[in-house]
């Protein structure tokens, strides 16, 4: 790749660059950090904070043993080891629950695909202890959602109140893409998806994904998960939507790109769902940050100007150590992320997004109550509500400034 296509990494913290240097190590390599200019004066507290933020401490620990001794302080090594050990137990716990859920769903005739979690760790890393996971993500057919809800409630799970779905004219089917459940005794959180990503936008149907599914060879119970090309599509769209703000997602890309892939199928999948620029973004970031070799078939998409701009835009999240799950987000981050998400969309997706703005929402219902048989009137009223809310927001902002 030419220098003009390279990303500007000058504002990336040197502590994060060190983490990347360690992550990139292959078996048999020895990292001589004393010869690297920027290794001096490392802020080890920030190093640990970044390792935790990016969820890379399990992989870091696996690499530490091949690093020259005394380069990393003993206290730092011990902290990483403790987090690695804790994560291993958590992953074993989640793995057992993943198998139990898969078994219960199969017994009740509900088709279930695992999206991430322990099965992803074993598929990409060969060891469930080398990847973190805070919950279990499953994909089901939207037609099975009522059966899923009934089954999980019987099993002792409770709906997460923050994920309660309020809807107008069934817009939840495309506005949202998952709902969360939590088991208070097992302390396990499940996210049940009926889409891979939030709408509006085109993506593979559940039946297509089910037809291309794989079965895990690392579990006692039959556990099904995405085919390799579908998994690649899901990982890049999921990571891109979050601005690649956690490098764990990019390390996943680095791993899957080193596996055998049918690139003709993968490219067709990306093309059919307006995601070639996202594939290019992921490849460019993985190549620049993790030295991932480019598949020849994807080279032209990684050199695309739109993909380059998207990749450069995501460095903001690394420079600021943005956590999109923390609330409330600073206003400047919210505005940046909104602009980035719009830039991420294809032309067709932008059009669908603009149209969706004028689709009634539950906020409109709460603003002006109408009986259900008159809900169609929310369509012409929607622009009025948008103007009123914007005017009210500006008015409150002016009062705050005064």
Render pLDDT for 209-258 as a digit per residue (tens, 0 to 9).
999 999 998 888 899 999 999 999 999 999 999 999 999 999 999 999 99
Range name among 216-225, 265-274, 361-370 with the lowest pLDDT average:
361-370
Q: In the CATH hierarchy, which top-level class contains the domain 109-226?
A: alpha beta
**321 Ramachandran zone, left/alpha/beta (phi>0; psi -120 to 50):** left
For the segment 383-399, the average pLDDT, to the nearest whole number, is 65
Q: Which sequence spans correspond to the domains of the chain?
A: 109-226, 363-401
Q: Which pLDDT belongs to residue 3?
A: 45
Edge-to-edge strand list for the sheet holding 224-225? 158-159, 178-183, 188-193, 136-139, 113-114, 224-225, 214-215
Q: Which pLDDT belongs to residue 150?
A: 95
User: Between residues 11 and 27, which one has the greater pLDDT?
Assistant: 11
**Is residue 117 within 8 Å of 98, Cβ to Cβ?**
yes
The whole-chain average pLDDT of the chain stands at 87
- Judge residue 304's burial from the number of C-beta atoms within 10 Å of its C-beta, 0-12 exposed, 13-18 middle, 19 or more buried: middle
Other Cβ atoms closer than 10 A to 137: 22
β partners of residue 159:
181
pLDDT band at 27 (very low <50, low <70, confident <90, very high): low
**242 Ramachandran zone, left/alpha/beta (phi>0; psi -120 to 50):** alpha
The span from the CA of 293 to the CA of 299, in Å, is 10
Q: Which pLDDT belongs to residue 38?
A: 58
Q: Which pLDDT belongs to residue 1?
A: 46
Residues in Cβ contact with 117 at an 8 Å cutoff, skipping those fewer than 6 apart? 94, 95, 98, 133, 135, 136, 137
Q: Which pLDDT belongs to residue 2?
A: 45
- Judge residue 375's burial from the number of C-beta atoms within 10 Å of its C-beta, 0-12 exposed, 13-18 middle, 19 or more buried: middle
User: Between residues 232 and 6, which one has the greater pLDDT?
Assistant: 232
Look up residue 368 and give its two tokens: 């002006």
Does the pTM of the predicted model rise above 0.85? yes
**Is residue 159 within 8 Å of 180, Cβ to Cβ?**
yes
Sign of torsion over alpha carbons 55, 61, 66, 69: positive
Count how many residues are written for the chain: 402
- With a cut of 60, say whether residue 396 has pLDDT above it: no
User: Between residues 84 and 358, which one has the greater pLDDT?
Assistant: 84
pLDDT tens for 157-192 read: 998 776 555 566 666 666 678 899 999 999 999 999
Look up residue 278 and give its two tokens: 């996202």
Residues in Cβ contact with 111 at an 8 Å cutoff, skipping those fewer than 6 apart? 105, 140, 141, 144, 206, 210, 224
- Judge residue 112's burial from the number of C-beta atoms within 10 Å of its C-beta, 0-12 exposed, 13-18 middle, 19 or more buried: buried
Phi, psi of 5 (to 5 degrees): -90, -10
Q: Which pLDDT belongs to residue 31?
A: 59
Look up residue 233 and give its two tokens: 């599509």
The span from the CA of 342 to the CA of 284, in Å, is 20
**Is residue 129 within 8 Å of 88, Cβ to Cβ?**
yes
Instruction: From 133, 111, 134, select the one nearest 124 (Cα to Cα).
Output: 133
Instruction: From 321, 301, 346, 263, select the one nearest 5 (Cα to Cα).
Output: 301
Cα dihedral value 245, 248, 251, 253, nearest 10: -70
The span from the CA of 300 to the CA of 306, in Å, is 12
């Amino acid at each position: 790749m030419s220098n003009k296509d390279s990303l500007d990494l000058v504002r990336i913290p040197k502590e994060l660059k060190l983490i990347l240097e360690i992550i990139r190590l292959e078996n048999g390599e020895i990292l001589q950090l004393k010869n690297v200019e920027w290794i001096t004066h490392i802020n080890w507290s920030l190093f640990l904070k970044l390792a935790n933020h990016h969820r890379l401490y399990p992989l870091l620990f696996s690499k530490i043993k091949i690093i020259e001794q005394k380069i990393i302080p003993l206290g730092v090594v011990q902290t990483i080891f403790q987090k690695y050990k804790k994560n291993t137990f958590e992953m074993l716990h989640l793995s057992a629950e993943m198998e139990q859920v898969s078994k219960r769903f199969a017994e009740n005739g509900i088709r279930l695909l695992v999206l991430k979690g322990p099965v992803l760790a074993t598929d990409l890393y060969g060891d469930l202890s080398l990847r973190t996971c805070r919950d279990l993500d499953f994909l089901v057919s939207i037609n099975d959602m009522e059966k899923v809800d009934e089954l999980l409630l019987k099993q002792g799970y409770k709906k997460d109140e923050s994920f309660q779905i309020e809807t107008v004219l069934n817009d939840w089917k495309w506005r949202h893409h998952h709902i969360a459940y939590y088991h208070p005794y097992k302390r396990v959180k499940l996210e049940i998806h009926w889409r891979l990503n939030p709408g509006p936008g085109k993506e593979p149907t559940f039946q297509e994904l089910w037809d291309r599914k794989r079965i895990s060879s690392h579990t006692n119970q039959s556990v099904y998960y995405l085919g390799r090309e579908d998994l690649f599509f899901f990982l890049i769209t999921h990571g891109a939507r979050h601005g690649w703000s956690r490098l764990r997602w990019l390390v996943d890309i680095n791993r899957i790109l080193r596996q055998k892939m049918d690139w003709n199928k993968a490219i067709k999948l990306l093309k059919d769902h307006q995601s070639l620029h996202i594939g290019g973004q992921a490849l460019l970031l993985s190549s620049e940050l993790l030295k991932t070799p480019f598949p020849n078939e994807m080279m032209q998409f990684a050199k695309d100007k739109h993909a380059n701009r998207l990749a450069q835009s995501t460095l903001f999240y690394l420079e600021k150590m943005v956590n999109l799950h923390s609330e409330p987000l600073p206003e400047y981050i919210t505005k940046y992320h909104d602009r980035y998400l719009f830039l991420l969309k294809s032309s067709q997706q932008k059009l669908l997004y603009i149209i969706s703005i004028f689709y009634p929402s539950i906020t409109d219902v709460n603003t002006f109550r109408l009986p259900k048989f008159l809900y169609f009137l929310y369509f012409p009223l929607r622009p009025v509500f948008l103007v009123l809310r914007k005017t009210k927001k500006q008015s409150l902002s002016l009062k705050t400034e005064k």
